A and B are shown apart, each in its own frame.
Chain A
Amino acid sequence: MALAAGPDVKAQLGALHDLELAALAAAGDRRAFGELARRHGSAVRALLRRMGAEPALADDLAQDAFLAAFESIGEFRGEGAFVGWVKRIAARLYLKRWRKRAELDPVEAEDIGDTADGEGDAARKIDLDGALASLSEVERLCVSLCYGAGLSHAEAAAALKAPLGTVKSHVKRGLDKLKRQLAASETAPAGAGRRAGV
């Protein structure tokens, strides 16, 4: 598939499906890959922020994830969504960094206590980002990996280098808290709360 040069190329790329863009990128077309980054950059950045990365770090890691995806675009078979594939790459990059920090600062990384109870928070409208902020760091990671990046519990355990049972219990605790938080946000008066920035 050949793309015409000139200003029309953006329009042509914009009309293509992700799989077609990925095929062009696999043939070395960096503009096609740029279109994929434009389409899905926000999703990857949002996932990293939801996992707990600071915005600047999330943006850097999202870029790294896209570059890594370009390098191994030949491995993308199109069996799942392109964005899901890049999200998994990004999540693993963040985990790698998180584990390094965990080795340096094990107390903080192993903190599994509640950062907020949430029971008295019913007066505030809380969306997913606000609800995630109420989870401990590890719970947030486990929930984001399984429900945001689409990893199975076993894959998340392998990525975290943690026992499967530990990951399952973090996910369960995280889900329970999120359920309470989201239920509370639904019963809160509209417009009474703040929307947590992502």
Chain B
Amino acid sequence: MSDPSFEARLQRLFSDHPHYPDAPLFAVEVEDRLSRGWALRRVLIGAAGVAGGLIAVVQLTGAGLIGRIGDAGQVARDAASALHTTAARIPGPIGGVGQLALPFGGEVLWLVAGLAVLAGAFLASRSIREI
């Protein structure tokens, strides 16, 4: 048979706890452990970033991507030249198409790539924060 008044009294007794004299020290230890945890986390994230960057550089170099980009640029220039020549031979208004240039150059491509990297870094930082 339950005794609500005794149960309520017991809850009060449990909530009436001693205050330990080393309570401030306890709090300092908790804060220290939190700080150590955050420092470790930062080191791990930094190390993972450096490792990832190195792996990316090695992969890019190993795959000869930079050379391929140069080749692709040459192919694009040849194609543009051929298009220009062909368009110049066609009479009428369409003949002027060869005069048109693309609205962006290599700088814009680099800018877009940089923005993509920034967006990736932003997303990564948000994901890490969520974790």
The bracket for how many chain B residues form the interface is 20 to 34
| B107 partner residues in chain A, CB cutoff 8 A | none
Of the listed stretches B29-37, B81-89, B108-116, chain A binds: B29-37
Chain B 35-62 residues near chain A, CB threshold 8 A: 35, 37-38
Q: Are B34 and A147 in contact (CB under 8 A)?
A: no
SS class of chain A's interface: helix, strand, loop or mixed?
helix
Contact residue among A43, A70, A148 (Cβ-Cβ distance under 8 Å from B34): A70
| B35 partner residues in chain A, CB cutoff 8 A | 30
**Interface size of A by Cβ–Cβ distance < 8 Å?**
29
Q: Please list 24 pairs of residues, one from A and one from B, whose beta carbons are closer than 8 Å in the complex, sorted by A's number.
A: A30-B34, A30-B35, A33-B34, A34-B27, A34-B30, A35-B27, A37-B26, A38-B23, A38-B24, A41-B20, A41-B23, A42-B18, A42-B23, A43-B15, A43-B17, A59-B26, A63-B29, A67-B37, A128-B14, A143-B10, A147-B14, A175-B3, A175-B6, A179-B6
Q: A interface vs B, CB < 8 Å?
A: 30-31, 33-35, 37-38, 41-43, 45-47, 50, 59, 62-63, 66-67, 70, 128, 143-144, 147-148, 175, 178-179, 198
16 A-B pairs besides A42-B20, A43-B15, A50-B14 with CB distance below 8 A are: A30-B34, A31-B31, A33-B31, A34-B34, A35-B27, A37-B30, A38-B24, A38-B27, A41-B23, A45-B20, A46-B18, A63-B33, A143-B10, A144-B14, A175-B7, A179-B6
